[in-house]
A and B are shown apart, each in its own frame.
Chain A
Amino acid sequence: MPISPLPLLQGTLDLIVLRTVALGPIHGYGVAALVRERSNGELAIEDAALYQALHRLDRQGLIDAEWRPSENNRRARYYELTPLGRKRLAEQAVHWRRYARALDALLKGM
C-alpha cells in the first residue's frame, strides 16, 4: 500500500510556488509538473491550489506574468519573480529552514 502524500503545512504553498517560479519564466503547467517531480509525490498539492497561489502572488506583485509561445506552439502564461518576489522568497526560505532546524533539534532530543 502506497504511503499517502503529506498534507501541506499552513503557509508553505506560497513558498513552494515562489521557489519554483524562481527557476525562470515558467507557465502554470510547468510549475505543477516540477512540484510533482521534485517532491516525488510526497506533497499533496492540487493543481487548483497552485493556480490560485500563482494569481494571488501575481496580485501581490511578487510574480509577474506574460503571454509567450510555449514548447508546443500554443501561447501560455509565463511567470517570473519580481524583485519584490525574489526578496520575499529569500526571507521565507531562511524562515522555514530555521523552523525546520528547530523542530528537528527538538524531535531528536526527545
Chain B
Amino acid sequence: MSQRRPFWYLRRSRRLVASEIDEELSFHLERRIDELEASGLSRDAARLEALQQFGDVETTRRYCRRQAEQKEKRMRLGLMVGDLIQDLQISVRSLARAPVLALTIVATVGLGIGATAAMFAVVDAALFRPLPYAAPGELVRIYTDTPPYRFRFSQADYLALEAQQTTFTQIAGYTERAAAFTDGQVAERLRGRVVSWSYFDLLGLKPALGRAFTAADGQAASAPAVIVSHQFWQQRMSGRADAIGRSVRLDGIDYLVTGVLPASAGPLEFQQDFFIAARWDTPRRKGPFFIITLGRLADSARASAAAELRAINRRIFPLWRSSYQDERATWSLVDLKESLVSDFKSAGHLSLGAVALVWLIACVNASNLLVARITSRRRELAVRSALGASRSRLVRYLLAESAVLAFSAAAVGVVLARVGIGLVQRFGDVFVPRAAEIALAGRALWVLVIVTAISAAIFGLVPALHGTGGPVDEGLRSLGRSSTGNLRVRRLRQLLVSSQFAVATPLLIVGGLLVGSLNNLKRVDLGFDSSNLLTGYIALPRAEYREVGQQVAFWTELRQRVERLPGVTGVTFVDSRPPQDAGNQNNFNLEASPTPAGQSEPVTTWVAVTPEYFPLLKIKLLKGRLLQDSDDGEGVPPVIVVDQAWENRFFPGQGAVGKRLWSGGCSTCPLTTVVGVVSGVKYDGLDAAEMGTVYSSLPQRGADVDGSRARYIMLRTASDPAAVLPSLRRTLRDLDPSLPLSRVATIDDLVVQSLQVPQTLSLLIGALSVVALVLSVVGIYGVMAHYVQQIAKDISIRLALGGAPAGVLRLIVGKGLLLVGAGVAAGVVMAFAAARFMSSLFFGVSSADPLTFAGVVAVLMGAALVACWLPAARAISVEPASVLRND
C-alpha cells in the first residue's frame, strides 16, 4: 500500500488516473483484436467480437475510475501522515543530539506554560468567574459609609432597612459566630455564622437535605434552628440520612437541624460549619455594628436603590440620636463580588502578569536559541533544499521540531499546572479568595492550549522563516564560515535579546520593591517583647454563665490556677492580639474639642486589658500611671490609658494625661479620664500607620457584655511556650470540660502569620524575577558568543595589524551593552507605570523608589556586562594567526 508506492509517483491527478484506465482497457482490446484477426477474422469482425467478449466497456471504465480515485485519496492521507511521522522522527532524533538545548527549552517554556495556566486558573476562579450563586450579578453588599471607613450595619440599621426598603427583591444579613460544639465528651470550637432567615433564599442556595430557613425561623417563638455544612454533617453527624430534625448543641444551646448544605457551596460559606437562624430584635441603642448586609436587586434598580438607602438612613437617624451622632455616615452599596475579591485584585493581577512575562521571556529565549541553531544549520538546510525539498517542506520540517518542543513543554506545563493548583488549593486559602473553585478546566484549559500554541508559534515560526530564506547557493557557498553571518538573522536575535531585557526589567523592579516592602515590614517595631507569649481564646456560653458573678469567679479562678503552673511567669486577659487583631474600633468625643454636630467623631483602636497586661508585655509607661484593679469598680469614674500616637494625634505638645472624653458616642454617660500614656503597640497589622490606641479595663465586675464572657488568655513562659500548652489545656479542662481553648498561638507565630501574604507574594515574584534574569543573561551571552565567533576573523585582522586589545574589547562589550541598555531603558519606563498601578502592595517604599530602580538597573547591566565580556575576552586572547590560518 502506501509504503510500497515508489517515491516518484507521489501524486496522481484525476486526469492521470482516468487516462491510465483508458490506456489499460485499450491495451486489452487491441491485443484481443490482434489475436482474433490472427485466427482468421476480418479486422472489423475481430473488433466486434472483442467488444462483445469484453462486455460493458463504459460501466467498467467508470467503476475502475471510482476505485482508483478512492485508493488515491486514501494514499494521499497516508502519505501526509507518513510525512508527519517522518518529520517528527527526524525532529526527535536531531533534538536528541542537542539535549541541553532541548531540555533548557522544554523546562523553561514548560515552567512558563504551567505557571501561566495555573495562575490563570487561580485568578479566573477568584476574579473573573461570576459567584456561584443564582443570578450573581444582582447581588450587592450594603455598607455604612463614612469615608474613609466602611463598616457594617447594626441591628437597628438592618431591621429598619428590611422594613422600609422597596427596591430590593431581597435583603439578608449575617455575622460571624464561633461556638463550642459539644458532643458527649468532646468540646470543639467551630466557625459559623448567624444569618437572617432570608440569607439562603437571597443567594439562591438550596440545602442538599432538608429545607432553607423560612421567616418563621427568625421568630423567637419557634425552636432555634441551624443549617449545617456538608463537612459538619459528614464529620460530626457521620453523614446520617436522618440528620434533619435532630439537634446539635452549640455553646450550650440545642439547635434543630433543618438543613444540610451541598458539598460545594459558595465563597461566603467556605469553611463555615454551621448557620444559625438569627433572631434580631429592636435594640435599645444604635450600635454595635456587626451585621454584614447583602441585597439582591435588578441591575437597572441600582441607582434608585442607592438613593433609597440614603433616604432610609436619613429617616432613621433622628431616632438614634442619643447613641449615634455621626450625621455624615450614609449607606451605600457595592457589587458583592467586588467586595469579596477586591483585596486580591492587585496581587492576583501582578502574579498573573509576572508568570506571563516569564513565559514570554522563556519563549523568546527558546526562539533565540533556535535561531542560533538554525543559523549554524544553514548548510544542512541548503543541502536539503538543493536536493529538491521545497521551502514549505523545510519550514514544515523546522516547525515539526518546534512542535515536538512545544508539546513536550506543554506536557511539562500540564504537570506543573496541576501540581501548582493542588498546592494553592491546599495552602492558598489564606491568600486567594474562592480557592475551592480553582480547577484546570474550562477557560483555564483553553488558556493552556492557547499559550502552548503561541509558544510553538513564537519559537517555531520566527526562526523557521529566518532559517530558510535566501537563495540556496548562498547558503551552500558560504559553508557556514561567512564572516558576517546573515544580517537579518543577527538583527532578529538582537531584537529578541533586547526585548527579553525589556520584559525582565519591570519584573525585577516590582520584585525588588516587594522585597524591600517585606524587609520594612519585618523591621517594624512591634512595641513590646513578643518572645515566649502564648495566647488562646476562651468564650463562656451564655446559657451556663448567665450571672456576672459566675463569670468573674471563673476568670479569677482560671488566672490563679494558670499562674501556679510551672514555667509560667505571668498571666493576663485581653480582647485583642498584636500584631493584627484589634478587638474594637471605638468612637469618642473629646471634652476639650467636641466634634461639631453632624460630623464624624474620631475613631481609634480600643483594647480592653487587665492591669497585668502592661508589665507582662513590657510596654513602657511614659506619663501618668497604668490601669489598676481598683479602676474597674462600681461607681468608680472610668479611666483609660492611651499610647504615644494617640497623644500626638489629639493633644500634640500638651500631654493627654488628665484629659477627658465621652466614649462610644454616649453623651449622657460619665466622662472617661486619661490617666497615663504608654509606648505604642501594633494592633492593626504591621503595615498600618499608628492612629492611636486606647486601653480600657476589661470588665471584671461590670455588666454582662461581650468582654466579660469571652477573651484571650495571654501568658509569658520561662522557656518554650509549647511546653506549657498541655498543662494550660488541662487546667481549663479541670475547671470546665465543656470549654474549648481556641485560636491557640504564640505572638511570634502571629507575627509570622501576618507576614505570610507579603512574604509569599514577594517570594513568588522574586523567584520569577530570578528566572527572568537568568534567562535574559543566557540570551545576551548566546548572542554575544555567536557574534564574536562570526567576527573572529575581523578581530584577528585588527589585532594582527596592531590594534589594541582593550579597544576591541570595548567595541564588543559596548555593542552588547547597547542592546541590553535599550531593553532595560524600555523596561524602566514600563516599570514606572506598572509599579504605580500596584502601589497598594508596597510598604515603606515609594512605587518609584530610586534606590530599587537604580539597583535593578545596576544588577541587570552588571550581569549583562559579564555575559558580554566573557566571549569578548576569549576572542582577543586567541592568537590572531591561528584564526586566520584556520580560515
Residue from the set B20, B24, B57 with the largest chain A CB neighbour count within 10 Å:
B24
Chain B residues, Cβ within 8 Å of A32: 28, 32
Chain A residues within an 8 Å CB radius of B23:
75, 77
Chain B: CB-nearest residue to A66: B6
| Chain B residue with the shortest CB-CB distance to A67 | B20
Chain B, residues 54-85, CB within 8 Å of chain A (1/0): the string is 11110110011001101100000000000000
Which of B4, B24, B55, B57 lies in contact with A28, CB distance below 8 A? B24
CA gap between A82 and B2 in the complex, in Å: 12
Contacts of B70 in A (CB 8 A): 59
Which residues between 54 and 76 of chain A lie within 8 Å of chain B, taking CB atoms? Answer: 54-56, 58-59, 61, 64, 67, 70, 72, 74-76
Of the stretches A6-14, A45-53, A86-94, the one at the interface is: A45-53
Question: Which residues of chain A in 25-52 are interfacial with respect to chain B, using CB atoms and an 8 Å cutoff?
Answer: 27-29, 32, 46-49, 51-52
Closest approach, in angstroms, between the C-beta of A49 and any C-beta of chain B? 7
Residues of B within 8 A of A67 (CB): 20
B68 touches A55 (CB 8 A): yes
- The smallest C-beta distance from B454 to any residue of chain A, in angstroms, reads 41
In the bound assembly, the distance between CA atoms of A108 and B25 in angstroms comes to: 44
In the assembled complex, the Cα of A27 lies from the Cα of B28 at a distance in Å of 9
* B27 at the A interface (CB under 8 A): yes
In the complex, chain A residues whose CB is within 8 Å of the CB of B32: 29, 32, 47
B55 — which chain A residues lie within 8 A by C-beta? 46-49
- Once bound together, how far apart are the Cα atoms of A75 and B19, in whole Å? 13
Selected contact of B27 from candidates A48, A55, A76, CB within 8 Å: A76
- Asked if B53 is at the interface of the complex by the 8 Å CB criterion, the answer is yes
Tell me the complex Cα distance, A74–B24, Å.
11
Evaluate contact between A47 and B63: CB separation under 8 angstroms.
no
Query: Are B1 and A48 in touch, CB under 8 angstroms?
Result: no
Known: A46-B55, A74-B27. A52 touches B20 (CB 8 A): no
Question: A58, B67: Cβ atoms under 8 Å?
Answer: yes
Determine the distance from Cα of A74 to Cα of B55 in the docked complex, in whole angstroms.
Answer: 23
CA distance A82 to B53 in the complex (A): 29
A51-B4 contact, Cβ under 8 Å, with A56-B67, A77-B20: no
Give CA–CA (A58, B67) in the complex, Å.
8
Q: How large is the interface on A (under 10, 10 to 19, 20 to 34, 35 or more residues)?
A: 20 to 34
Is B31 an interface position by the 8 A CB rule?
yes
Quick check: A27 and B67 within 8 Å, CB to CB? no
B841 to chain A, nearest CB (A): 67
What is the bound-complex CA distance between A47 and B55, given in angstroms? Answer: 7
Query: Which chain B residues (1-34) contact chain A, with CB distance < 8 Å?
Result: 1, 4, 20-21, 23-25, 27-28, 31-32
* Residue from B4, B31, B56, B59 in contact with A29 in the complex, judged by beta carbons closer than 8 Å: B31
Whether the pair B57, A59 counts as a contact (CB closer than 8 A) is no
Report B493-531 CB contacts with A as 1/0, cut-off 8 Å: 000000000000000000000000000000000000000
Complex alpha-carbon distance, A62 and B407, angstroms: 38
Residue numbers in A under 8 Å from B21 (CB-CB): 55
| Those of A2-28 within 8 Å (CB) of chain B | 27-28
Determine if B53 and A46 form an interchain contact, defined as CB atoms under 8 angstroms apart. Answer: yes
Q: How far is the CA of A21 from the CA of B563 in the complex (A)?
A: 107
Would B54 and A55 count as touching, CB distance under 8 A? no
**13 CB < 8 A contacts A-B:** A29-B27, A47-B32, A47-B54, A48-B54, A48-B56, A48-B59, A48-B60, A49-B55, A51-B28, A61-B1, A64-B1, A70-B27, A72-B31
Given contacts A32-B28, A59-B70, 8 further A-B contacts (CB under 8 A): A27-B27, A29-B28, A46-B55, A51-B25, A51-B60, A59-B67, A70-B27, A72-B31
B residues lining the A interface (CB < 8 Å): 1, 4, 20-21, 23-25, 27-28, 31-32, 53-57, 59-60, 63-64, 67-68, 70-71
Which 7 pairs between the two chains have the least Cβ-Cβ distance?
A48-B55, A46-B55, A55-B67, A55-B64, A47-B54, A48-B60, A59-B71
